[in-house]
């Protein structure tokens, strides 16, 4: 089954992902050859990805904290001032 055989509406998202994974597994990945010289580069890329993931976690955590009810800006007078 080739992607060109289907119109955009004929292929579900799950089918699309299956076709892409099959293409990667059968055609792309076997064509990649790594050598011992590539290990340092792969370790560098891995470290960069770990740093990016950590930064995203920090950003999401701060965004979550900023959106929590205790950190929202109140409109109107405070309850303790109404008394």
Q: What is the pLDDT of residues 15-47, one digit of tens each?
A: 989 999 999 999 999 998 888 889 999 999 999
Whether the pLDDT of residue 52 is over 70: the answer is yes
Identify the pLDDT of residue 46.
95
**Tokens coding 70:** 């205790």
What is the separation, in whole angstroms, between the first and last Cα of the chain?
73
Q: Examine the domain organization and report whether 28 and 55 are in the same domain.
A: no
In a domain, 41, yes or no: yes
In a domain, 1, yes or no: yes
In a domain, 78, yes or no: no
Give the whole-number percent of the chain exceeding pLDDT 70.
Answer: 71
The pTM assigned to this predicted structure is: 0.45
In a domain, 75, yes or no: no
Q: Examine the domain organization and report whether 18 and 3 are in the same domain.
A: yes
Identify the pLDDT of residue 27.
92
Mean pLDDT of the chain: 81
Domain count, the chain: 2
Q: Which domain holds residue 6?
A: 1-32
In a domain, 51, yes or no: yes
């Amino acid at each position: 089954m080739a992607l060109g055989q289907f119109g955009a509406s004929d292929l579900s998202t799950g089918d699309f992902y299956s076709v892409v994974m099959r293409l990667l597994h059968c055609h792309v990945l076997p064509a990649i050859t790594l050598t011992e010289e590539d290990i340092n580069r792969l370790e560098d890329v891995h470290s960069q990805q770990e740093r990016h993931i950590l930064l995203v976690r920090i950003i999401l955590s701060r965004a979550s904290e900023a959106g929590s009810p205790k950190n929202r800006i109140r409109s109107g007078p405070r309850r303790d001032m109404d008394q």
